[in-house]
Structure 1
C-alpha cells in the first residue's frame, strides 16, 4: 500500500527542483507509458551537450534521451540500436550511427553526446572514450517548445511511444548544457570528478515529473573492500 501510494504521489506531484545526488531512476518494466519528463523553459539551442549514466540488460533497441519540438520529433535523440555497439545520435531529425561502441550489458556506463548547429557535427563519448565526429543537421538552431523524455522515444512531440523502444534499467546523473562541452569537461564527468553541472538540466536541481511505474531510488554502487 505504501509502495502504491509513493508511485501515485510521484506521478501526480508538481515539478519542483529536487537534488537527486546519490539517486537513480529505475525503469523496471517494458511499457509504452512509463517515463520521466524533464522540465526546462529554454526553447532555443545553438548547441547541445547531454551526459548521463545508465545500466540495462536490454539487447534490443532502446531510447536513452529524447528531446522533441513541434517541428522535429527527434530534435536531439540518443538511441541505442539493436546491433551490438551501435548508438544513434540525431539532431533535428537528421541521424548518424556511431558503430563500434563498447556498450556492455549489466554495466554502468557514462554517455555524453554533443552537437553544434554551426558545423552540424555530433560526437559521442562512451565511458570517456570519444567517437569519430559525424555530420548531423547544420545551419539552424533547435527551436520551439521542448519535450524532454527519459524512458521512451518520441515519434511525435510528447508522444508516439513504442513499447519495444522503451528503456528498462536504471539511469542517473542526467545533465544537459546549451554549449558543446570540452573533452576535458567530459572526462571529468566520466571519471566522476568535480564538474560544472548542466545549464539546462542539472541532476542536483532537477525539475521532473513521472508517469507510470518509475521509481526514484538510492543509486546502486559497488562496495569498497574493507581492511579487516
Structure 2
C-alpha cells in the first residue's frame, strides 16, 4: 500500500484580525486508526520551521518549506509502505526521500482535516488546529509520479484521488467551518 496526500491550502483570514495564531504549530491532515493515532499525519512545526510527516506514529522533519501565513501553498506527502520511504513536496519542490517505517496501515481509519485527533476520532486540542482555507485534498493508495504531482501543483488535468477525492467527499462538519466554492485568482 502506498499513500499520497496532496493539499492545496492557504492560511489566510476573511477579515482583518490578529494573525499571530497562524504562526503556531498546527495540523493539516490527520488519519488515525485504533492502533496508530498518527497513522498518516502532516504537521507544521512553527517552532522549528519544518513540515513533519508522521506515518504509523513515526515522524521525520523537513525544513526549507517556505510556508508563510496568508498565502496559498501546495503540500504533498508520499509514503511507500513497502520501502518505508517518505517524501515531502512543498509548492512543487520535492525533498529528499527518507526511510520512516514500512508495513501497511491497517484497521478502520478516520480522517480529519485541520485538526490532530490524538486518538482514533477524538482528543482534539484547539491550539493545534489549522486556521485558514483548504482546498483540493486528494489521497491515493499508490505513489504518483513526479509528473503527476506537478500536474496537480499546476492545477492541470490530474487523476483525482481514489481514497479521498475533493470533488466527491462524504464528510461531516464539526465546529465553525465554512464551506464555499474555491475562489479563483486572476493572472
The answer to whether TM tops 0.5 is yes
Contact 1:120 1:136 in 2 (8 A): yes
Contact 1:49 1:176 in 2 (8 A): yes
Contact 1:51 1:113 in 2 (8 A): yes
User: What is the correspondence of 1:126-141 to structure 2 with a 5 Å cutoff?
Assistant: 126-138=90-102, 140-141=103-104
Match of 2:55 among 70, 91, 112: 91
Contact 1:73 1:154 in 2 (8 A): yes
Which runs of 5 or more residues in structure 2 are unaligned?
13-21
Q: Is residue 178 from structure 1 mapped to residue 141 from structure 2 by the alignment?
A: yes
- CA distance in 2 between counterparts of 1:135 and 1:94 reads 10
- CA distance in 2 between counterparts of 1:84 and 1:130 reads 19
Q: How many residues are treated as equivalent by the alignment?
A: 178
- Compare CA radii of gyration and give the structure with the larger one: 1
Which runs of 5 or more residues in structure 1 are unaligned?
1-45
Q: Give secondary structure in 2 for the equivalent of 1:211.
A: coil
Tell me how large the CA RMSD over aligned residues is.
Answer: 1.2
**1:210 counterpart residue number:** 173
Structure 1 residue 84, shift from structure 2 partner? 5.7
Please list the CA deviations of residues 6-48 of structure 1 after superposition, one character each: whole Å capped at 9, or x if unmatched.
xxxxxxxxxxxxxxxxxxxxxxxxxxxxxxxxxxxxxxxx110
- CA distance in 2 between counterparts of 1:108 and 1:221 reads 11
Moved over 3 A (4+): none
Q: Is residue 191 from structure 1 mapped to residue 154 from structure 2 by the alignment?
A: yes
**1:76 counterpart residue number:** 40
Structure 1 residue 209, shift from structure 2 partner? 1.0
Higher RCO (CA 8 Å, separation ≥ 6 residues): 1
Q: Is residue 50 from structure 1 mapped to residue 50 from structure 2 by the alignment?
A: no
The alignment's TM-score, normalised by the length of structure 1, stands at: 0.75
**1:119 counterpart residue number:** 83
**1:220 counterpart residue number:** 183
The alignment's TM-score, normalised by the length of structure 2, stands at: 0.91
Please list the CA deviations of residues 40-64 of structure 1 after superposition, one character each: whole Å capped at 9, or x if unmatched.
xxxxxx1100001111151100000
Q: Give secondary structure in 2 for the equivalent of 1:89.
A: strand
Q: Give secondary structure in 2 for the equivalent of 1:209.
A: coil
- CA distance in 2 between counterparts of 1:55 and 1:76 reads 21
Please list the CA deviations of residues 158-180 of structure 1 after superposition, one character each: whole Å capped at 9, or x if unmatched.
01111110011000011000011
Contact 1:84 1:103 in 2 (8 A): no
- CA distance in 2 between counterparts of 1:68 and 1:155 reads 8
Contact 1:49 1:177 in 2 (8 A): yes
Q: Is residue 159 from structure 1 mapped to residue 122 from structure 2 by the alignment?
A: yes
